[in-house]
Amino acid sequence: MTLDRWIALVILLICLAYGYAAFFTMDHLLPPFMQRNPIWPSTFPKVLAVLASLTALVVLLGLEPAPKDKGTPDIDYRRLGDYKIGQALILLGLMVLYALMLRPAGFIIATILFITLSAVTLGERKFHFLVPIAALATGIVWWLVQGVLGIFLRPLPFFLG
């Protein structure tokens, strides 16, 4: 089975779970006065669940004729090993780490580390350029966001205030 059909299967399962929630778990929370309305909070989700399940089935069962000219894919997922998948996974890990560290480590340290480590992952080794650029960009963005726009960004780690 091709990847697009696997994805259609996953979406179908999600739609079934969504539909189950819409059909069986939402309406009993409805206050009596709302039950007299022609439309309930579950009405739109019910319609969407049915339509999305049917459309997912169309894709899953391959009922639509395949395109004649598929062209060359951007990335061929069947040959993922030929690409720099390791670098991509490390960068995703760094993004998750950044999300978790942003508050406790503070914006400045977390951001400088994120930019520096991402560039190092991609092969950059000129630290005398990289670290000052990362620090400068971090400082400018922090000043713009906190100073100019007034959106709170804790600059330093929590134990430093």
Ranges within 36-75 binding other proteins (CB under 8 A):
37-39, 41, 43-45, 48-49, 51-52, 55-56, 58-59, 63-70, 73-75
Q: CB of residue 23 vs other proteins: minimum separation in angstroms?
A: 13
Contact of 76 with 32, CB cutoff 8 Å: no
CB of 84: closest distance to other proteins in angstroms? Answer: 6
What are the counts of helices (DSSP H) followed by strands (DSSP E) for the chain? 5, 0
Residue 156 touching other proteins (CB under 8 A): no
Please state the closest distance from residue 28 (CB atom) to other proteins, in A: 12
DSSP track, 142-161? HIIIIIIS------S-GGG-
The interface with other proteins within residues 85-144 (CB under 8 A) comprises 85, 87-88, 91-92, 95-96, 98-100, 102-103, 111, 114-115, 118-119, 122-124, 130, 133, 137, 141, 144
Whether 51 and 82 have beta carbons less than 8 Å apart is answered as no
Separation of alpha carbons 29 and 33, rounded Å? 12
Q: Which long-range contacts (CB under 8 A, 24 or more apart) does 22-26 make?
A: 22/46, 22/48, 22/49, 23/49
Tokens of 60: 């899953």
Nearer to other proteins, 31 or 161 (CB): 31
User: Which is closer to other proteins, CB of 45 or CB of 155?
Assistant: 45
Judged by beta carbon, residue 26 or residue 109, the one nearer other proteins is 26
